[in-house]
Amino acid sequence: MKKYLGVALGVLTAIGGFVDIGDLVTNAQVGARFGVSLAWATGVGVIGICVFAEMSGRVAAVSGRPTFDLVRERVGPRLGMLNLVSSMLITLLTFAAEIGGVSLAIQLVVSVHELLIVPVVALCVWLVLWRAKFSIIENLFGLLGLALLVFAVAAWHLGPDWGALTHQATHAAKPHDEFWSTYAYYAVALFGAAMTPYEVFFFSSGGVEEGWTPDDIGVMRANVLIGFPLGGMLSIAISVTAWVVLGPLNIGVDSLGQVGLPVAVALGKIGLAIALLGFVAATFGAACETGLSVGYSVAQYFGAQWGKYVRPNEAVVFHVVILLATIAAAAVLMTDVDPVLITEMSVVFSAVALPLTYLPILVVANDPDYMGEHVNGRFANVLGTVFLVAVVAAAVAAIPLMIWTRMGQ
């Protein structure tokens, strides 16, 4: 019974934590302009994150060691360092975006200038990462993030033409006033948002922290194969509400408040209040995950002690890196840069870093010295190879598309 409860809790946590500030903004932007004609990009990204999250979780369960620890040992210090630097920079950029997202969400409630909120949010995130138990971070914010299910309720309440939406979702078409280059840019952005590197770092490291063994592989797979797809469906619900409410009015999305506007139209003040709770919980939870991921990656690469179940004075490098990352993220935001712009950049650059993140995972998952009888089977390798080609294509296309379209303008 405990194992089945673990599945249920893990699924709920995955749903609540899947939609971070990048998914919120990007899906609403795409929905307002393209409807659900790019739902396929979210679907492909969800399948991809399931493939590699399952591999990284299986590696953690079988070896008892996290991703970066094994990557450095398996591919060597040079390639491992390249992987570390690229992934950490993206995760740090995402960390700043998430802290900015929390600040924007709180600003919608208290009407205080964002720059006054950022230091308080950064301090709260650091205190939680320093003192709170891993289970609290994982479960509390994940479960509160389920308030974002209000978007699914709002989509149903708005009563769109589901036949037309289904036709739109199953045909790679664009509105007549949009360019194919812009369509491709947002396809890459949605793909990158779904496969953000920090998700697998946090997932595998969390598995080690919770003491996964080969006996837990079934539970791990249930968390992956149910939780992430449901999170993807929630992302599509955000696009649906934006298309139904904002699309006919030609209203673009350039702020977090506009993301919640369709919920307010559909469900009124109560619905909006629930959405705001979801914004704060999901972005705060994602800020914790990204902050931990920065600490995990650096400490694991250099062989330092790490983890939430280790006393802070025994994991000094881990906690110092998290503190410095929090200060750096807050410093970037205090320059008055738009957190939504940081969000958009982090999503696109995530796509650039994907090959360096996922190739080592595929290599380690095929190594019998680490995995024994739990090495990748043929099906996992086919999927891994297909999605590795996809992430390479996205990485090659991301920067040219960003420049060509001026970030989707």
Residue-wise DSSP of 36-65:
TTTHHHHHHHHHHHHHHHHHHHHHHHHHS-
User: CA quadruple 158, 161, 167, 172: dihedral positive or negative?
Assistant: negative
| Contact present, 228 and 14 (Cβ < 8 Å) | yes
- Which range, of 119-123, 176-180, 378-382, averages the lowest pLDDT? 176-180
d(CA 278, CA 142): 10
Q: How many other CB atoms are found less than 10 A from the CB of residue 338?
A: 14
Instruction: Using a pLDDT cut of 70, give the percent of the chain over it.
Output: 95
Q: Give pLDDT, residue 14.
A: 60
Query: For residue 366, with 0-12 CB atoms within 10 Å meaning exposed, 13-18 middle and 19 or more buried, which class applies?
Result: middle
Band of pLDDT at residue 263, cut at 50, 70 and 90: very high
Q: Give pLDDT, residue 382.
A: 94
Question: In this structure, what are the phi and psi dihedrals at residue 161, rounded to the nearest 5 degrees?
Answer: -80, 95
| Contact present, 105 and 280 (Cβ < 8 Å) | yes
Q: Which domains are seen in the chain, by residue range?
A: 2-404 (1.10.4160.10)
Residues 296-301: what's their mean pLDDT? 86
| Contact present, 151 and 264 (Cβ < 8 Å) | no
Band of pLDDT at residue 10, cut at 50, 70 and 90: low
Q: Give pLDDT, residue 9.
A: 52
Which residues does 192 contact at the CB level (< 8 Å), separation at least 6? Answer: 45, 347, 348, 349, 350, 351, 354, 394, 398
Q: Give pLDDT, residue 300.
A: 83
Number of H helices, E strands in the chain: 18, 0
User: Which alpha helices (DSSP H) does 196-338 contain, by range?
Assistant: 198-209, 217-222, 228-245, 256-301, 316-333
Selected residue with higher pLDDT from 68 and 322:
322
CA atoms within 13 A on the CB side of 96: 28
> According to the per-residue pLDDT averaged within each range, which of 40-44, 193-197, 254-258 is highest?
40-44
Q: Give pLDDT, residue 12.
A: 56
pLDDT tens digit sequence for 21-33: 878 888 999 999 9
d(CA 293, CA 200): 9
Which residues does 207 contact at the CB level (< 8 Å), separation at least 6? Answer: 57, 60, 61, 66, 216, 220
Evaluate if residue 163 carries a pLDDT over 70: yes
| Contact present, 240 and 165 (Cβ < 8 Å) | yes
Taking every pair of C-alpha atoms in the chain, what is the biggest distance, in angstroms? 60
Q: Can you point out the beta strands (E) in 51-107?
A: none
Q: Give pLDDT, residue 18.
A: 66
d(CA 241, CA 305): 45
| Contact present, 243 and 161 (Cβ < 8 Å) | no
| Residue in 104, 83, 92 with CA at minimum distance from that of residue 25 | 104
| Contact present, 200 and 357 (Cβ < 8 Å) | yes
| Contact present, 325 and 291 (Cβ < 8 Å) | yes
Cα dihedral: 150, 155, 158, 161 (round 10): -170
Gyration radius from the chain CA atoms: 20
Torsion-angle region of 223 (φ positive above 0: left; ψ -120 to 50: alpha; else: beta): alpha
Lookup: tokens for 249:
């009015």
- Which range, of 12-16, 249-253, 334-338, averages the lowest pLDDT? 12-16
d(CA 13, CA 379): 27
Band of pLDDT at residue 152, cut at 50, 70 and 90: very high
Residues 110-121: what's their mean pLDDT? 89
Selected residue with higher pLDDT from 8 and 376:
376
